[in-house]
C-alpha cells in the first residue's frame, strides 16, 4: 500500500513531559536521593513510562530520568488541561523533580499561545526571576 503526503492528516495534540530528578530552581542541577512516595496519573490519553517506585534510590551517577509522561487530547487546549491535571496527580516525594516547573510552563501564556522557540526556557526562567525581584509574585506562588 502506497501512502502519499496528501493521505496523512494530523488529529489531536500530544505533549511529553520528562520527569527528571533535577532542581529547576538551581539551574536544573541533579537531585539524587530516595523516592519516599510515588504515584503516577492515568486515564484516557495518558501514558507514563517509568522504572521508579517508592523506595527507589536516584543515584548521582546515571540519567536523572524518573518517568516520561505522554498526554494526548483532541486539540492543544484539551491536551494542556489534561497535562496540568496529570501533573497535579503525579506524586514524587523525597527528591526535587521537574514536575512543578512543568506546571508553571503549562500555565504560561506564551506557551499556551504557542509563542516559543529554542530559547523559551531561558527566557521563561528570566521572566520568573524578574517577577520575583519586582515583588510581583512570591517564589512560593510559582
DSSP sequence for the chain: ----GGG----SEEEEEEEESEEGGGTTEE--EE--EEE---STTEEEEE---TT-EE-TTS--EEEEEEEEESSHHHHHHHHHHHHHH-EEESS--SHHHHHHHHH-HHHHTT---TTHHHHHHHHHHHHHHTTSS-GGG-
pLDDT of residue 129: 79
pLDDT of residue 56 exceeding 90, the answer is: yes
Q: Where are the domains of the chain?
A: 11-107, 114-142
**Statement: residue 138 has pLDDT above 70:** no
Residues of the chain with pLDDT > 90: what percent? 77
Average pLDDT, the chain: 92
pTM for the whole thing? 0.86
CATH of 11-107, one of 3.40.50.300, 2.40.10.10, 3.30.470.20, 3.40.630.30: 3.30.470.20
Q: pLDDT tens digits for 65-95? A: 999 999 999 999 999 999 999 999 999 999 9
Amino acid at each position: 500500500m502506497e501512502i502519499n503526503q496528501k493521505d496523512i492528516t494530523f488529529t489531536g495534540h500530544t505533549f511529553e513531559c520528562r520527569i527528571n530528578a533535577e532542581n529547576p530552581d538551581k539551574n536544573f542541577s541533579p537531585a539524587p536521593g530516595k523516592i519516599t512516595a510515588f504515584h503516577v496519573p492515568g486515564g484516557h490519553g495518558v501514558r507514563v513510562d517509568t522504572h521508579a517506585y517508592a523506595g527507589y534510590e536516584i543515584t548521582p551517577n546515571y540519567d536523572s530520568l524518573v518517568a516520561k509522561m505522554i498526554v494526548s487530547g483532541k486539540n492543544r487546549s484539551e491536551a494542556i488541561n489534561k497535562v496540568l491535571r496529570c501533573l497535579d496527580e503525579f506524586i514524587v516525594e523525597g527528591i526535587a523533580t521537574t514536575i512543578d516547573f512543568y506546571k508553571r510552563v503549562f500555565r504560561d501564556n506564551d506557551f499556551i499561545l504557542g509563542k516559543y522557540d529554542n530559547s523559551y526556557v531561558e527566557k521563561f526562567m528570566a521572566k520568573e526571576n524578574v517577577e520575583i525581584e519586582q515583588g510581583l509574585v512570591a517564589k512560593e506562588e510559582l
